[in-house]
Structure 1
Amino acid sequence: MSFFGELYLRSTLPFLSEAVTEKEAEYLARAFADVPGPEPIIDLGCGHGRHASRLNASGPLAGRIIGLELDALSLAMRRPGFPAVQGDLKALPFRPESLAGAYAWYSTLFAFTDAEHVHILREVARVLRPGGRLVFQTVPYERLAESPGASFRQTLPDGSVLEEQSRFDAVTGRDMGQRTLSLPTGRRLTASYSIRYYPLAELQRLLESTGFSTEWVHGGLAGEPPAPHAADLIIAAQRRRG
């Protein structure tokens, strides 16, 4: 089965508190507050819309957010208050230079092959107007390289049992894992994943090669500088003019 579908939704929703979502949405609101309209800002891989619903309802981005999601179940379960389209990151259903900004959270852009990551970033550059902004969150490569193995088992509030094992390969930059969710009904959902984590310098070269220039790099939601053991790696990049 696909990792990004029912398994992902059921296994991640219990850990996404409203407090965490609010802090992340506040960061995104600040990140795009100076981006003029009226063109929309796209939530790439919006899932059930925890960021998009908040940002579109009030604040500096109210009325400007559109969600993009490939998984039909996520779209069916999305929170109210924002428009969304079903679409693929590798073939964005938008006209060239029609968007003011784009954002993606939790390494959404990097769950594919290296060649596909180049293509996806070029697609984002295609649909952003010159000077448009891309903001995305991932995890510092160094943090994973220092602790490459992970194993997890927990009983969720609905009685489901979540199990996961993963291994990060510092040579390829890939975190490979398998997640299993055993439901109280007896159903068992299992899928594998592969997520690419780039060192910061490599990420910046990737952005430069696909039409972007780095605007800032943060190590967390408070705007702190990047660090190898920071909680986050958040990058803002501008779509180059010309």
Structure 2
Amino acid sequence: MDDFFGELYLRSTLPFLSEAVTAREVDYLSRAFADLGGPVVDLGCGHGRHASRLNGEGALAGRVVGLERDALSLRLRRPGFPVVRGDLRALPFQAGALGGAYAWYSTLFAFSDAEHVQILREVARVLRPGGRLVFQTVPYERLAQSPGAAFRERLPDGSLLEEESRFDATRGRDVGQRQLTLPDGRFLRAAYAIRYYPLAELERLLESTGFSMTWVHGGLEGGPMTSESTDLIVGAGLKAGLNAPA
């Protein structure tokens, strides 16, 4: 997966991340953490399109720190926020140091089931009492209805993006292959596997790692998830009594 979340991922996703979409997501995150104090970490911040805006103004101004493993993403990151290089499975923060954490685009679920447990326990460890985790992914049910996908498009820089994927509803894994042919003739190619949990299973996973599901939204407007929802956005609070500072 390291080959996927690097130059290939950056070059193939940035053209689709408009400033308008980013602004709407930032507004949602700002409201999601407005009632909490303390630092908030962007887990897998990438080039920092959320963290840069959130740390610059509004309810989270001066309180956002990015966490990213990919060196290229760190070199290309937007200015205006502090960042730490680190791994989701071993967060480089002290216990109870943070007020909140968020992750976008299924960032938390690109590993094995055992590692997802480890990641969520790590997030629980670094949150202070009353802390909150917010994350976005795709509803399992939506993928189960349309398990196969194929994509081919010429990007603005002339690169050709090609992708095929297949969702295995039994295992809850979307497995795919992405290839980017650059204008200079280079090929970037990598496989990926993302885990998507049915809502009831996701709630059990959160409960087992120290969280209690607070809300479920089907989009940035904050409405409930329905069969038509393209997003699954979850807010989860740290259970009382966990990881209180000594």
**TM bucket, shorter chain:** over 0.9
Distance 1:215 1:164 in 2: 35
Deviation at 1:227, TM superposition (A): 1.4
Amino acid at match of 1:139: V
Distance 1:232 1:87 in 2: 27
Aligned residue in 2 for 1:55:
54
What's the C-alpha RMSD, in Å, of the aligned pairs?
0.7
Distance 1:25 1:61 in 2: 10
Query: Helix, strand or coil: the match of 1:154?
Result: strand
Please say if residues 140 and 229 of structure 1, whose CA atoms lie closer than 8 Å, have aligned partners that are also in contact.
Answer: no
In the TM superposition, 1:174-189 aligns within 5 A as 174-189=173-188
Deviation at 1:5, TM superposition (A): 0.3
In the TM superposition, 1:97-108 aligns within 5 A as 97-108=96-107
Aligned residue in 1 for 2:64:
65
TM-score (norm 2): 0.97
1:32 to 2:33 alignment: yes
Aligned residue in 2 for 1:216:
215
TM-score (norm 1): 0.98
Distance 1:73 1:103 in 2: 21
Distance 1:165 1:210 in 2: 33
Distance 1:229 1:120 in 2: 29
What are the superposed Cα offsets for residues 69-109 of structure 1, whole Å, 9 maximum, x if unpaired?
00000000000000001000000000000000000000000
Distance 1:97 1:229 in 2: 38
Aligned residue in 2 for 1:17:
18
Deviation at 1:192, TM superposition (A): 0.2
Distance 2:221 2:150 in 1: 29
Distance 2:49 2:122 in 1: 24
Range that drifts further, 73-82 or 222-231: 222-231
Deviation at 1:143, TM superposition (A): 0.4
Distance 2:162 2:85 in 1: 29
Range that drifts further, 81-90 or 223-232: 223-232
Deviation at 1:241, TM superposition (A): 1.7
Query: Helix, strand or coil: the match of 2:192?
Result: strand
Unpaired runs of at least 5, structure 1 = none
What are the superposed Cα offsets for residues 215-239 of structure 1, whole Å, 9 maximum, x if unpaired?
1110000001011330200000001
Distance 1:229 1:150 in 2: 18
4+ residue segments displaced more than 6 Å: none
Query: Helix, strand or coil: the match of 1:56?
Result: helix
Deviation at 1:199, TM superposition (A): 0.5
Distance 1:4 1:49 in 2: 14
Query: Helix, strand or coil: the match of 1:167?
Result: strand
Distance 1:173 1:231 in 2: 17
Please say if residues 182 and 189 of structure 1, whose CA atoms lie closer than 8 Å, have aligned partners that are also in contact.
Answer: yes
What are the superposed Cα offsets for residues 157-212 of structure 1, whole Å, 9 maximum, x if unpaired?
00000000000000000000000000010100000000000001110110000000
In the TM superposition, 1:157-176 aligns within 5 A as 157-176=156-175
Query: Helix, strand or coil: the match of 1:95?
Result: coil
Distance 2:190 2:76 in 1: 21
In the TM superposition, 1:120-139 aligns within 5 A as 120-139=119-138
Amino acid at match of 1:232: D
In the TM superposition, 1:83-94 aligns within 5 A as 83-94=82-93
Distance 2:230 2:129 in 1: 31
Unpaired runs of at least 5, structure 2 = 242-246
The count of corresponding residues between Structure 1 and Structure 2 is 240
Distance 1:111 1:199 in 2: 16
